[in-house]
Amino acid sequence: MREEISLYQRKLKLSNNLMEIYPFIEAETEDREEKRRIRNLNNAGFHVVKSLEGYDFSQIRFPESLQLHNIESLSFLEKKENLILYGAVGTGKTHLSVALGVKAINQGKKAVFYRVHDLINQLESEDIKKANKVHKKIAQADLLILDEWGYLPLHQEGARLLFDIISLCYESKSIIITTNIEFGRWKGFLFDEKLTAAIVDRLVHHSHMLIFTGKSYRMTNSLMK
């Protein structure tokens, strides 16, 4: 290996002095990390990339177990903890979830984003390779974001597939859920009472709930007054 390194140094006209080589190694490392970051960002599945810059947290009620600095530092990811973002439509839940996913990727982690029904449709695909690819993508991620939780009801098979995903992630990675449905109504879209109890049990164990109390941003800023 030493001979090969010496050969490459001669071909590239690089010095044997490590201090002179260091800038090239540093630049190559940074280039690879940036390419990995862009690749992870493109593969995350975000419909629109969002940022925490300028985000208004004033209309969010935080639990005692989690404060704003814990959110911004992504410390919940290191602990494999979950966030449940609960509130009315248009109050910034999806924006925050995506912004946290983007920040995680910028810090060298992997995040994936799915709307719940899109995820179930992909898992139910007749193409087994497609479904396996989804499982692999989630298994390799540090953060799974499930958007629009409870917006549309699931059938029994869909609920079972969702349970499998939650079980896959349990205590191995963080999950962020955005929903406008309180726990007591989850059975209405998860179809099965036992499955609902099992899913809630796994999610609640390591979760923090953020309650969004503001008005719909889209309605407030609508052109139709």
Q: Which pLDDT tens digit goes with each residue over 143-177?
A: 999 999 998 889 889 999 999 999 999 999 999 99
Residues across the chain: 225
In a domain? residue 225: no
Stretch 103-121: mean pLDDT, rounded?
Answer: 97
Give me the CATH number covering residue 136: 3.40.50.300
**Residues 22 and 65 both lie in one domain:** no
- List phi, psi (to 5°) of 200: -60, -40
**Residues 33 and 95 both lie in one domain:** no
Residues 113-148 pLDDT 10s: 999 999 999 999 888 999 999 999 999 999 999 999
**Residues 196 and 87 both lie in one domain:** yes
* Total-model pTM: 0.85
C-alpha distances (whole Å) from 28 to each of 14, 25, 37 are: 14, 5, 14
Half-sphere exposure of 211 (CA within 13 A, CB side): 7
In a domain? residue 179: yes
The confidence band for 223, taking pLDDT boundaries of 50, 70 and 90, is very low
**Residues 6 and 96 both lie in one domain:** no
**Residues 163 and 143 both lie in one domain:** yes
Coil/strand/helix, residue 52:
coil
In a domain? residue 175: yes
114 CB-contact burial (10 Å; exposed 0-12 / middle 13-18 / buried 19+): buried
In a domain? residue 81: yes
Q: Which domain holds residue 157?
A: 46-220
Quote the pLDDT of residue 61. 96
Quote the pLDDT of residue 219. 52
Residues 64-80 pLDDT 10s: 989 999 999 999 999 99
In a domain? residue 60: yes
**Residues 70 and 143 both lie in one domain:** yes
Quote the pLDDT of residue 17. 54
Domain tally for the chain? Answer: 2
Residues 155 and 190 sit within 8 Å (Cβ to Cβ): no
Residues 183-210 pLDDT 10s: 888 888 888 888 899 999 999 889 999 9
**Residues 113 and 67 both lie in one domain:** yes
**Residues 122 and 32 both lie in one domain:** no
Amino acid present at 161: L
**Residues 142 and 83 both lie in one domain:** yes
In a domain? residue 185: yes
In a domain? residue 195: yes
Residues 26-68 pLDDT 10s: 777 778 889 999 999 999 999 999 999 999 999 999 999 899 9
In a domain? residue 170: yes
